[in-house]
Structure 1
Amino acid sequence: MRVCVVGAGAIGGTLAAAFARGGAQVSLLARGVTLAALARDGLVLDHDGATERHPLPVSSDPADLGPQDLVVLAVKAPSLPAVATSVAALLGDHTRVLTAMNGLPWWFLDGGFGGPVSGRTLRSVDPEGALTRAFPSERVIGSVVHLGASTPAPGVVRWETGDGLVLGDPAGGADEVTQSVAGVLGSGGLSVTTSQQIQRDVWWKLWGNMTMNPVSLLTTGTMDTILDDDLVMELVDAVMFEAKALGATLGIPMDQDPADRHRITRRLGAFRTSMLQDLDAGRPVELDALLGAVVELGELTGAPLPTARMLFGLARSRARVSGLYPAS
């Protein structure tokens, strides 16, 4: 299996190492200092007290790597439209595309999913339709990543917590190719399961991320400090109850309340969300994929999301002041 990972950051690097361990022919698409480090030293993975070095082909030009069996998109959501217009050389007639990113993907309402808004395009994550054109849902393997990793230096990945990965096709289930990908990654050390409806798994993860990420952007607080503030948690709970009702409209009923999710989040301790890390590093934030798309779904379905809309507006304003979100 020829696999190219686009984006050799924490998650992309961990997945690349897992594919290599599992016997795939792996290459990396990278740029800048990360490209230089990977070309010089290979991909370095620190995990469980051991260090692995994977000398993998790497380039900034997709044409150097050629058509693949699988392309893994592991870049931040704001970078996806540019990727969509630049990776055609990686895509053959039968190439599949595995998406590994935060928030709602452009294919979320495809495959007959979404109840009254099935088949609609989420403009907040695919405003010009570039993602849908480049990566139609028939090519896509959706994923939900349940592991924690960081990049202490370019080309170096520290895999810190968790090993879970859920895979599934937007149309439901997992076809033979998706099952094969799951097998390779399982052989590479990940705990991989397949989903009958990957959108449900995406929504479940989003249910926590859609609040904790923007609240951390506003407060610069870690998970534990957010959870310890009763007034802040009133806001968080209100948004989550709104999203729970919206999920039921889309065909994702939940039998849990926010308090159940908070008990899971509490285990992370003084964790810095990805959005807080992006703020600190001066990188564009994934606000549209994590919360803006939820607000858009509310508008499409007519579901009232007053608290979610206020949180989105506040977080958007904060990000704009920092130059991390486009001006209106």
Structure 2
Amino acid sequence: MKVTIFGAGAIGSHVAARLASRGRSEVSVIARGPQLEAIRARGITVEAPDATFTAHPRAEQDPAALGPQDAVIVTVKAPAVTGVAEAIGPLLGPETPVVFVINGIPWWWGENLTSLDPGGVARARIGLPRTIGGVVWSACTVTEPGVVRVQSAANRVIFGELDNRMSPRLQALADALEGPGMGGVATTDIRTAIWTKLLNNLTNGPICLLTRQDMKTTFSDPAVLAAAKAVMHEGLAIAAALGHPVPGDPEAQILRSVALAHKPSILQDLEAGRSLEFEALLSVPLQLAREAGVATPTFELLVSLARQAARFG
């Protein structure tokens, strides 16, 4: 199975290294700059709770150097989706699926969410039939080019068809990734999986943008933790109103997450001067809440404050 990871940030590098270490797939990455050069020279080193190891996927900047793949896993930030759609063509054979493992509400969620796919480029050039939804659970950071530090122990990528069927291509992707340190999961309810992960982004993203601190430091203050729990309950109400009620014990999940001395990806992006996933993580969920008639006073306040903090910080 020939698999290309399009985007070699923290998540993309972690997924690529795990896939390559399984030995079941021919793994390549699309990267650029110092990350590209480091992967070519030394591979990807993962420093994780379960193991420290180095994998050596092929690394290219130009998709045309790789040719058609059996699957492409896109792990760029949401604002980069248009660029991926414009460049991905050489990787696509007639049946190549494209998995979007991206934080927040994805571009394919609804035609009215035009801010997530400006000009409809992804919808036109990739299309819904090829598209598979994805959710990743992994707290990781690129500490230097070619090196990823992973703080979470229960890492996994969830794959789901947009129509919620269980398909052979879905199971093949999950099987290719399954193994020690990171699981591959095929689901028949990808939208609920997205909202389950999004709850974390809603609770820690805007608050950590304001504090400029990691989650453990930020939420050690009981008043701040109470605000995060309030946002979590508002997020649960949005998900339920959209028909995707989150199962299990979301509060326990949030408490495990905020115990990590890890900076959310949106804060990492701000500090690195990269584009923020503000639309997908914060603005669009707020838009969906308003359309569904769900009151979100705490979340709305924090999004407004976070927008100012990101603009002037």
Q: Does 1:132 align with 2:123?
A: yes
**Is the aligned partner of 1:206 residue 2:207?**
no
**Residue type matched to 1:217 in 2?**
L
Task: Give the drift of 1:206.
Answer: 0.6
Aligned to 1:77: 78
| Stretch of structure 1 that moved more, 293-302 or 88-97 | 293-302
Provide the TM-score with structure 2 as the length reference.
Answer: 0.90
Structure-1 residue corresponding to 2:3: 3
Give the unaligned 5+ runs of structure 2. Answer: none
Change (3 A) 1:15 1:297: same
Contact 1:122–1:296 under 8 Å retained in 2: no
The answer as to whether partners of 2:195 and 2:246 remain within 8 angstroms in 1 is no
- Per the alignment, do residues 249 and 25 of structure 1 end up closer, same or farther by CA in structure 2, a change over 3 Å counting? same
**Structure 1: gaps of 5 or more residues:** 110-119, 323-328
User: Using the alignment, how far apart are the partners of 1:92 and 1:261 within structure 2?
Assistant: 39
Map 1:139-218 to 2 at 5 A. 139-162=130-153, 163-187=155-179, 190-218=182-210
Query: Is 2:274 aligned against 1:283?
Result: yes
State the partner residue of 2:53.
Answer: 51
Q: Structure 1 CA distance, aligned partners of 2:233 and 2:151?
A: 31
1:26 aligns with 2:18: no
> How far is 1:211 from its partner?
2.2
Q: Give the Cα–Cα distance (whole angstroms) in 1 for the partners of residues 69 and 246 of structure 2.
A: 38
CA contact (8 A) 1:237 1:258 kept: no
**Structure-2 separation of matches of 1:188 and 1:93:** 32
**AA matched with 1:70:** A
Of 253-262 and 311-320, the range deviating more from structure 2:
253-262
What is the TM-score with the length of structure 1 in the denominator?
A: 0.86
Separation (CA, whole Å) in 2 of partners of 1:233 and 1:181: 37
Farther off after superposition, 290-299 or 219-228: 219-228
2:236 & 2:262 partners in 1: Cα distance?
Answer: 24
How many residue pairs match? The answer is 310
Distance 1:137 1:189 in 2: 31
In percent, how many aligned pairs have the same letter? 37
Once the two structures are superposed, what CA deviation does each residue of 1:12-53 show, in whole Å capped at 9, x if it has no partner? 112112222332111111111111222222333344454324
1:175-210 CA-to-partner distances (Å, cap 9, x unmatched) read: 101101111111575322221201101101111211
Deviations 1:244-273 (A, max 9, x none): 2221111122466764444323442x2222
Q: 1:134 to 1:302 in 2, by over 3 A?
A: farther
Greater mean alpha carbon deviation, residues 90-99 or residues 299-308: 299-308
In structure 1, distance between residues paired with 2:303 and 2:282? 6
